[in-house]
Amino acid sequence: MNTVKNPHITIFENQIELSLGHSYGISSDKQDDLISVRYELMKLRFKQVLFLESDISVLPTMTVLEYLVYMTKIQRVNHYYATELQLLNLLEAANLGYISLTAMQYLTKEEKMIVGLIVALFSNKEIIVFQICDYNFSMSLLHSIQYLIRTLLKQTSVLLVITMQPNLIGICLTNVIFVQDKKINYYGSVTLLRDTMDRVLYAIEHHDMDMMYHNLLEAFPLYEIRRTPSKIYVMRTTTERDDSFFLHTLSKQGIMPDHLKFNHGKVKHSFQELIELHENFK
């Protein structure tokens, strides 16, 4: 009995084994690093790799549904291709039904890329590279991408997504590779990244940010209080999370935020921690 082997890729001289059936986000705070990653992955150009790097410009007058039927027939796997009804149901389930009868030329560039992703996920390619550094997907489209990957990604394929949008990785993908200065700074699951690297506990907004910042500094000496122009972040140091203690202290000290958000792990915050650690150890 033949065992299917996991594919390998090389990024900056590091060989990485990819797990079939999984998705990987490759990101950085510098676009130059991701351009370098793209060139590394270009070495993979063989018949089992599919690169999706720009929005679709062919067959512009076809509707999305017509295009998907046409493309899945062309690349049918084991003589199977999706019917028009199956593809329509897929678009509806992914909250993309509104584009099904729209001509390709009238889609946004992000919507075109999602149509391209659907076609790619129907293929029999072992590695699919989705290069979207210059794209910014709305929250609604991110959830559509999440559904499509979970529904269509085969157990015989791997999806690599090159992106500078942390939310895309956090919502849609299972693993992450974060690179800085042509080195891999983190490689592992998205869940582990959020659990270990995101120190933000609470995000606070107030009409008097100066007053709120100083009140929080006095009330929570064991936490790190970090201020940005629009928010104040309460961050853990060595102290474990204790929501009851935090809310009780706010009430006792008469501290009343205009808006308080509980954070339970974000890729964006985790990347910021990785960036700061990297800068500190240069």
Rg (CA), the chain: 22
Taking phi first (over 0 means left), then psi (-120 to 50 degrees means alpha), and beta for anything else, what does residue 227 get? beta
**Which string of DSSP letters, residue by residue, matches 23-71?**
EEEEE-S-HHHHHHHHHHHHTT-STTEEEE-S---SSTTSBHHHHHHHH
- The 10s digit of each residue's pLDDT in 16-33 is 999 999 999 999 999 999
Q: Are 31 and 164 in contact (CB under 8 A)?
A: yes
Query: Is residue 146 pLDDT above 90, yes or no?
Result: yes
Residue 111 and residue 125: Cα distance in Å, rounded?
22
Tokens of 255: 């501290």
pLDDT classification of 209: cutoffs 50, 70, 90 = very high
Query: Is residue 77 pLDDT above 80, yes or no?
Result: no
pLDDT over 70, % of the chain: 93
In this predicted structure, what is the pLDDT of residue 210?
94
- How would you label 209-248 residue by residue, b for 16+ Cβ within 10 Å and e otherwise? beebeebbeebbeebebeeeeebbbbbbeeeeeeeeebee
Q: Are 25 and 130 in contact (CB under 8 A)?
A: no
Query: Is residue 261 pLDDT above 80, yes or no?
Result: yes
In this predicted structure, what is the pLDDT of residue 42?
84
- Backbone φ and ψ for 80, nearest 5 degrees, come out as -100, 140
Residue 95 and residue 147: Cα distance in Å, rounded?
9
- The 10s digit of each residue's pLDDT in 228-258 is 889 999 998 876 788 999 999 999 999 999 9
Residue 117 and residue 137: Cα distance in Å, rounded?
13
- Of 51-55, 78-82, 135-139, 146-150, the poorest mean pLDDT is in 78-82
Q: Are 238 and 278 in contact (CB under 8 A)?
A: no
- Of 39-43, 158-162, 170-174, 227-231, the poorest mean pLDDT is in 39-43
In this predicted structure, what is the pLDDT of residue 1?
44
- Region 67-89: mean pLDDT is 81
> What's 85's DSSP letter?
H
Query: Is residue 2 pLDDT above 60, yes or no?
Result: no
- Region 42-63: mean pLDDT is 78
In this predicted structure, what is the pLDDT of residue 73?
84
